[in-house]
Chains A and B, each alone.
Chain A
């Protein structure tokens, strides 16, 4: 088994419980509270990364600006993720539905970056449309 495959399983072992714990926490704590705790939880990992790099990061301004913007958008999205759980939706359905964000990324690339859709992506959008239709009922 290739080394990367074990790391992929490690991802699954982290992200699956992450979604389950998000649902369990959201049953009691507001979306804002969950977002605060979620942020605090990610700090030990960031400190580990920083320590491993000797507390040195690249100083590219554009990279930093885009990274910060990604963080703000990601945090706002996570807030919605916790709010969706808190509204009583099924964890499996909400996790799958929110995991379909590449639909938006592909459409944004189409509009703003003038990228062309491949036929595989067109088929993917078709499956996503069916999934959304089912979930919305």
Chain B
């Protein structure tokens, strides 16, 4: 059976982010969600020297660099939005699972932005994945 290389990488991401969620939950037992965001970013900074690619980073086009920078900005803003939703009266048991549905936006926009399409079978996989993440987050 041939398994695409990215599948193995995704497996590693799942394990690392699975542990992240556990540590985040432990963190919020002691400090606020906003402080968690701050210390998590400090953790990012601690990790940065190990992946810093050196001068290579300065040779990329401005728009590619902007994509990477904006990805970080939007991800952090989304986290703030999630905290704000909970502060505005949204129950964690409802807001959390619903927020996990954000890949729907990617599925909708990918054909227009990335010129990518998915097969019917992959579409079924995406549907099963979205149902799974909501059920597991309840």
Point out residues on A near B: beta carbons under 8 Å: 2-5, 7-8, 10-25, 27-46, 49-50, 52-53, 57-58, 60, 62-64, 66-77, 79-81, 83-84, 87-109, 112, 118, 120-121, 123-128, 130-131, 134-137
Partner of A14, one of B38, B78, B137: B78
Main secondary structure of the interface of B (DSSP, over half): helix
Question: Which chain A residues border B16 with CB–CB below 8 Å?
Answer: 73-74, 76-77, 80
| A103–B137 alpha-carbon span in the complex (Å) | 9
Question: Which chain A residues border B125 with CB–CB below 8 Å?
Answer: 93, 96, 130-131, 134-135
Kindly provide the distance from the CB of B69 to the nearest chain A CB, expressed in whole angstroms: 4
Q: A20-B110, A42-B73, A107-B18 are in contact. Are A7 and B31 (CB under 8 A)?
A: no
Kindly provide the distance from the CB of A74 to the nearest chain B CB, expressed in whole angstroms: 4
Question: Which chain A residues border B73 with CB–CB below 8 Å?
Answer: 41-42, 44-45
| A91–B56 alpha-carbon span in the complex (Å) | 25
Point out residues on B near A: beta carbons under 8 Å: 1, 3-7, 9-10, 12-24, 26-27, 29-32, 34-48, 51-53, 56-57, 60-61, 64-65, 67-82, 84-86, 88-90, 95, 98-110, 113-114, 116, 118, 121-122, 124-126, 128-138
A4 touches B136 (CB 8 A): no
Partner of A69, one of B23, B35, B75: B23
| A4–B95 alpha-carbon span in the complex (Å) | 8
A95 touches B106 (CB 8 A): yes
B60 touches A33 (CB 8 A): yes
Q: A64-B39, A87-B9 are in contact. Are A8 and B106 (CB under 8 A)?
A: no
B30 touches A21 (CB 8 A): no
A80 touches B12 (CB 8 A): yes
B126 touches A106 (CB 8 A): no
B46 touches A60 (CB 8 A): no
Kindly provide the distance from the CB of A113 to the nearest chain B CB, expressed in whole angstroms: 8
Partner of B103, one of A2, A46, A95: A95
| A42–B123 alpha-carbon span in the complex (Å) | 31
B6 touches A58 (CB 8 A): no
B43 touches A105 (CB 8 A): no
A64 touches B60 (CB 8 A): no
- Residue among A40, A42, A92 with the highest chain B CB neighbour number at 10 A: A92
